Structure 1
Amino acid sequence: MSMIGLVDCNSFYVSCERVFQPRLCGVPVGVMSNNDGCVIALSNELKALGIKMGTPAFTLQPLVRSGQIHLLSSNYELYGDMSQRVQAVLEEFSPTVEPYSIDEMFVRFDGFAHAPLLEHARQLHHKVRRFTGIPVCVGVAPTRTLAKLANRAAKKIPAYQGVCILHAGSAETRNLLQKTELGDVWGVGRRLVERLALMGIKSAWDLAQANPKEIRRRFSVTLERTAQELRGVPCIEMIDLDEARQRIMTSRSFGKLTDDLDEIREATRQYGQRSAEKLRRQNGLAKAVLVFLKTNPHRQDLSQYSPSLVLELPRPTADSREILHAAGLALERIYRKGYLYQKGGVMLLDLIGADRQQLSLLDTPQSDAERQRSQKLMDVMDTLNRRMGRDTVKLGMPTPGAAWHLRCAHRSDRSTTRWDELPKVRAL
């Protein structure tokens, strides 16, 4: 029988920090958003103090100063690398691993009887923690929606010890569905909960028993699939993660408001390079570049201006130099002195596969040789950055302390991706 598992990393951002800072284990820890604005990840100890997701970080500073809680800047480079390490362990247990988010991954378990599957899932649960230091919960079921519920049970109910397996039609599954509110079902939002309640559908079990055709007629085919999945009928397939994106954007809020063109030009150059790297990873080419700037809409005391401009590239390309040149021209045309900018970004548009490029009738052997040199140069840059750490090779040097840099005064070391930030051992 085909079974699907959902592996969810517990308090993932906090867990990543604790792997390299054991002193944080067992104490209240939170991770802040970009520019240290608000709390976006909380340990169980921090939740127990009544602190909620999205709490502005500045309101918690008295607790930080007194040492009652610890707040860290987000360290996405570390979190992304640790996510890949978790995936690598999962791939030892399943031929098919489908990342759903940075801290959740679906895995396929086919051909297992119940007892061997339970043991297999428990080994997975144990070895992810042993090899990466990240605690996880594992939910296994015939469908993705039931696997989500199984994972939630594994996390919330201590008797499962982090691993829950549900089978369609079992008394255990029925009992769990009857106790699960609609709002806790994957894909059922608050508005749907209110509308379904008017039909007397108030639990996951009620939705599973509802007439699928009636659900489709009154709501949508998506909700009908959810109802079928709760019955144990697979209806939802994940999006092919290898499918090329149709557009690629990199944007960030600046660390502080700025009107300095040189600083904004540096930021645009960094965003353009990131977008070009993503484009090459999917073996694509871009036909156009969009650049935008934004002032802070919440500062009504300041003049507002949020321009954008699309420039067509002379030819489809993934060369960072050509993309940055176009982005620079677009920035020069939209920038206006006298405004304080909060955010900027670069988007690559009209993407095609590199193998689908249509050459011009005016192309010459020299043009083809130039394209090959460009590709070789970008390949070398990407290889060095992959092996030696991000930004080992880059176009242009950013000014230290420029306004566009993210505020991250409390960021931990990027211990798995930066040679100069490896943990240091001091002899006693």
Structure 2
Amino acid sequence: MTERVFALVDCNSFYASCERVFRPDLQRTPIVVLSNNDGCIIARSADAKPFVKMGEPYHLVEDFLREKGVLAFSSNYALYGDMSQRVMTVIEGLVPALEVYSIDEAFAELTGIPPGQLEALGRTLRAQVLKLTGIPTGVGIAGTKTLAKLANHAAKRWQRQTGGVVDILDPERRDKLLRAVEVSEVWGIGRRMTEHLHAMKIKTAWDLAQADAWTLRSKFSVVVEKTARELRGTSCLELEDAAPPKQEICCSRMFGIRLKELAPIREAVATYAARACEKLRAQGSTCKRVRVSIRTGMFNPKEPKFARGQVMELPYPTDDTRIITKAAVDGLEALYQHGFAFSKAEILLLDLRQRGEYTDDLFAPVQPAATQKVMGVLDSINARWGRGTLRPGCVPASPVWAMKQEMLSQSYTTRLDQLMRVQS
């Protein structure tokens, strides 16, 4: 039987790397990327890591970072999403099969490729992605997905020694790495699980690999058992060709300013509902219930607190932006109370169903056939001319409550009016 081989290709400091692609002058400048409303540090270039911790509130370290020459950027999700798609397209053209695991990493199936060619393929992947997208990557190669994740960790941690590619198919190299890596670095082992494992004297990835699998299953879960088996070299996790449809879809944002009146909150809820519906149609689902919630800031002891949600039943499973938006706004009006300064709204689509995978009630109303055509036209226009080109009338083009993004870079790849200009 042919031995399974997986590779994990992971982008280095992805958000920061995206900012550098179109700004060559920043190649030697430390970079951090901020969360919504320029709140906390959510990404750091390698040279920025000594100066700031992940999750640090930006307002607390702003002056210090400026003093150290660290440049901050607001989150530019349009740019990051488009660059991710470009990276995955390049990788997909070089490997037999691909599973996009997250915005900046993907598992590749390399089974059947001669062992002597695997490291060379890893270096080709890195070189092609860097050449065609400008994004640096690390590649880990192993006999299981968990080991490939660990090999990728080593490729990034010891990049100078490894050149960004680590192959641990050889049992001796695999065991050497397992002994050198803390158990907390193993894929799927979080902080609390690490504490439990330390109590059992399991300190390294090697210790976890040698632990009795059935004991781990009975004491923790089948997931931990599979992790231990994968560390030993037994493949338990298959490559997923396509991600399954989401069972819930959420769109949630902090407001750029505190909102006290109903009208701007209504605009925000309508905007978030329209975005959630785009995601709903993109995966071919319909929705039967929608939950809307609003809340105030929760950390200022001087402000009165309010946090509440309302679930609204829809007349039939639908992906119609108009119906879902109306239900969300009706729910908001039932929730809203005067006298509070609201900071956030959330739309959650529930009871999702794939078209054709449920039986209609013979006497219940159903979504008209024309609705699917109307929503298809809406999505095609926005896909061609940019999100928001065609939108419900209650969704403003430039809302006053929009997220604070004072350090936002250009959308170099997704907006015609923000393309780079080359001057002769």
TM-score, scaled to structure 1 = 0.93
Matched residue, 1:15? 17
Matched residue, 2:300? 299
Q: How does 1:167-316 map to 2 (within 5 A)?
A: 167=169, 170-237=171-238, 241-316=242-317
Quick one: structure 1 residues 257 and 160, their matched pair in 2 at CA, closer, same or farther if it must change by over 3 Å? Answer: same
Kindly indicate whether the alpha-carbon contact (under 8 Å) linking 1:316 and 1:357 is maintained by their aligned counterparts in 2.
Answer: no
Quick one: structure 1 residues 195 and 401, their matched pair in 2 at CA, closer, same or farther if it must change by over 3 Å? Answer: closer
Instruction: Determine the C-alpha separation between the residues in 1 that align with 2:349 and 2:211.
Output: 45
User: For residues 336-365 of structure 1, what are the alpha-carbon distances to aligned partners after superposition, in whole Å with 9 as ceiling and x for unaligned?
Assistant: 1111111101111111112235445457xx
Structure 1 runs not aligned, ≥5 long: none
Instruction: Determine the C-alpha separation between the residues in 2 that align with 1:191 and 1:281.
Output: 36
Kindly indicate whether the alpha-carbon contact (under 8 Å) linking 2:98 and 2:106 is maintained by their aligned counterparts in 1.
Answer: yes
> In the alignment, residue 245 of structure 1 is paired with which amino acid?
K
Shift, 1:213, TM fit = 2.3
> SS in structure 2 opposite 1:303?
coil
> In the alignment, residue 405 of structure 2 is paired with which amino acid?
C
Shift, 1:232, TM fit = 0.5
Structure 2 runs not aligned, ≥5 long: none
Shift, 1:142, TM fit = 0.6
Instruction: Determine the C-alpha separation between the residues in 2 that align with 1:90 and 1:358.
Output: 40
Matched residue, 1:28? 30
Instruction: Determine the C-alpha separation between the residues in 2 that align with 1:302 and 1:377.
Output: 44
Matched residue, 1:390? 387
Instruction: Determine the C-alpha separation between the residues in 2 that align with 1:192 and 1:357.
Output: 39
Matched residue, 1:150? 151
> In the alignment, residue 27 of structure 1 is paired with which amino acid?
T
Instruction: Determine the C-alpha separation between the residues in 1 that align with 2:49 and 2:132.
Output: 27
> SS in structure 2 opposite 1:53?
coil
Instruction: Determine the C-alpha separation between the residues in 2 that align with 1:194 and 1:339.
Output: 41
Shift, 1:201, TM fit = 2.5
1:380 aligns with 2:377: yes
Matched residue, 1:127? 128
Quick one: structure 1 residues 51 and 65, their matched pair in 2 at CA, closer, same or farther if it must change by over 3 Å? Answer: closer
Quick one: structure 1 residues 300 and 3, their matched pair in 2 at CA, closer, same or farther if it must change by over 3 Å? Answer: same
> SS in structure 2 opposite 1:307?
strand
Shift, 1:400, TM fit = 2.9
Kindly indicate whether the alpha-carbon contact (under 8 Å) linking 1:30 and 1:70 is maintained by their aligned counterparts in 2.
Answer: yes
Instruction: Determine the C-alpha separation between the residues in 2 that align with 1:347 and 1:191.
Output: 29
Matched residue, 1:47? 49
Kindly indicate whether the alpha-carbon contact (under 8 Å) linking 1:257 and 1:340 is maintained by their aligned counterparts in 2.
Answer: yes
Kindly indicate whether the alpha-carbon contact (under 8 Å) linking 1:34 and 1:74 is maintained by their aligned counterparts in 2.
Answer: yes
> In the alignment, residue 339 of structure 2 is paired with which amino acid?
G
> In the alignment, residue 398 of structure 1 is paired with which amino acid?
P
> In the alignment, residue 195 of structure 2 is paired with which amino acid?
E
Quick one: structure 1 residues 128 and 175, their matched pair in 2 at CA, closer, same or farther if it must change by over 3 Å? Answer: same
Q: Which deviates further from its counterpart, 18-27 or 240-249?
A: 240-249
1:417 aligns with 2:414: yes
Shift, 1:192, TM fit = 3.1
> SS in structure 1 opposite 2:356?
helix
Shift, 1:64, TM fit = 5.6
Quick one: structure 1 residues 67 and 167, their matched pair in 2 at CA, closer, same or farther if it must change by over 3 Å? Answer: closer
TM-score, scaled to structure 2 = 0.94
Instruction: Determine the C-alpha separation between the residues in 2 that align with 1:179 and 1:67.
Output: 33
Shift, 1:414, TM fit = 1.0
1:2 aligns with 2:4: yes
Matched residue, 1:166? 168
User: For residues 76-98 of structure 1, what are the alpha-carbon distances to aligned partners after superposition, in whole Å with 9 as ceiling and x for unaligned?
Assistant: 11111111111111111123211
Matched residue, 2:70? 69
1:116 aligns with 2:117: yes
Kindly indicate whether the alpha-carbon contact (under 8 Å) linking 1:389 and 1:419 is maintained by their aligned counterparts in 2.
Answer: no
User: For residues 30-64 of structure 1, what are the alpha-carbon distances to aligned partners after superposition, in whole Å with 9 as ceiling and x for unaligned?
Assistant: 1111100111111122123x321122212333246
Quick one: structure 1 residues 337 and 195, their matched pair in 2 at CA, closer, same or farther if it must change by over 3 Å? Answer: closer
Shift, 1:389, TM fit = 2.1
Matched residue, 2:398? 400
Quick one: structure 1 residues 239 and 115, their matched pair in 2 at CA, closer, same or farther if it must change by over 3 Å? Answer: closer
Shift, 1:219, TM fit = 3.1
Q: How does 1:78-89 map to 2 (within 5 A)?
A: 78-89=79-90
Instruction: Determine the C-alpha separation between the residues in 1 that align with 2:290 and 2:201.
Output: 51
1:105 aligns with 2:106: yes
Kindly indicate whether the alpha-carbon contact (under 8 Å) linking 2:99 and 2:240 is maintained by their aligned counterparts in 1.
Answer: no
User: For residues 167-204 of structure 1, what are the alpha-carbon distances to aligned partners after superposition, in whole Å with 9 as ceiling and x for unaligned?
Assistant: 15x21111111111111111223333333334332221
Instruction: Determine the C-alpha separation between the residues in 1 that align with 2:67 and 2:196.
Output: 47
> SS in structure 1 opposite 2:250?
strand
> SS in structure 2 opposite 1:110?
coil
RMSD across aligned positions (CA): 2.0
> In the alignment, residue 414 of structure 1 is paired with which amino acid?
S
